[in-house]
Structure 1
Amino acid sequence: MSGARATGDAPWDLSFLRIGLLVTAVVTVVAALAVGVALSWADALTVVIGATVVTAFFCVSGLVVAWAGKVDDTWTMPAALGTFGLKALVLFPLLTGLPADGWPDRQVLAWTVVAGALLWSGVQLRWVWTRQLFYVPPPTPPGEQQRSPENPAPRG
């Protein structure tokens, strides 16, 4: 054995979802209160809806890409693109079906989605920048190497 992990064996860390959910919850409460006071409480509810949609998008994408990576690393890009395309196909008719002058306010929803996407992107960027990432599969730790005829147990 070469001592390297097989494709798809690397653990997928989804801790950015927990951090993203926490940050989004705090920012959503503050933004909804500010919008409620400045505009209306219906618009504040629109902020909550927009934040929920963005959060669902990032959580679903993270879970699907992690699942695909556990199966095989080469599946992650098709899984990410396919998930994005499917979500866009579902969301586009729903958003275009909203009345231009009704509730929820499309402009408030649009700004919430933009702000939420930027927020989640920032969370993911910070998460990636603070992790030790390998460009090649990391070697198996010495205590976990399997014994084989090419790699016999050490003689002591």
Structure 2
Amino acid sequence: MTAAAPRAPRSDAPWDLSFLRVGALVTVAAAGIGAAVTGLLGGWGDALGVLVGAAVVTAFFVTSGLVIAWAGRIDDTFTLPAALGMFFVKAVVLFGVLNALPEHGWLDRRTLAWTVVAGALLWSGVHLRWVWTRQLYYVPPPAPPGAGGAPSTDPETPRKRG
């Protein structure tokens, strides 16, 4: 038998979910503008479809973010199964919601579905920008000044500015 490989030490750094607030604010602005334009051009049933679709996408991304962060706090290896599981659950829920709506009801299913697609792309863009603009460490970050550790002299260690 072979011995199990030693696990890397767990970081005590909390999962940063600040992209959820940014995504929600961007979605509120885009949905407000989209609903107003859609209401004027296509009718207020379509505008309601935009608002409901934006709410569905926001709820889906917030739920996924929270579940993935929860799984990551337990063990990093749980994040991928949590993400894939949430994707499956969200697809089933969306399919059920769209099928439960009447074909010619007060809410236009096609507008709702296209809003979900547009909202998912919008949230993906927000998340990508959030990741690209964050200072992410590939090693444990240096101890802050005054925390008992001397500042790092490693030239590869990024430093925070002011």
TM over 0.5: yes
Matched, 1:96 2:99: yes
> Would you identify which runs of 4 or more consecutive aligned residues in structure 1 move more than 6 Å?
none
Task: Give the deviation of 1:139 after TM superposition.
Answer: 4.6
Paired residues of 1:12 and 1:66 also in contact (CA < 8 A): yes
- Cα RMSD for the two superposed structures: 1.8
Alignment match, 1:13: 16
Give the Cα–Cα distance (whole angstroms) in 1 for the partners of residues 111 and 94 of structure 2. Answer: 16
Q: List per-residue Cα deviations over 1:2-48 (Å, max 9, x = no partner).
A: xxx83252321111011011111111110010011111112111110
Quick one: distance in 2 between partners of 1:51 and 1:112? 6
Q: How many residues align?
A: 140
Which runs of 5 or more residues in structure 1 are unaligned?
Answer: 146-156
Higher relative contact order (CA 8 A, sep 6+): 1
Which residue does the alignment assign to 1:110?
113
Q: d(CA) in 2 for partners of 1:101 and 1:50?
A: 17
For 2:55 and 2:85, how far apart are their aligned partners in 1? 21
| 1:52 counterpart residue number | 55
TM-score by length of 1: 0.81
Partner of 1:150: none
Q: With structure 2 as the length reference, what TM-score do the two structures score? A: 0.79
Identity, % of aligned pairs?
62
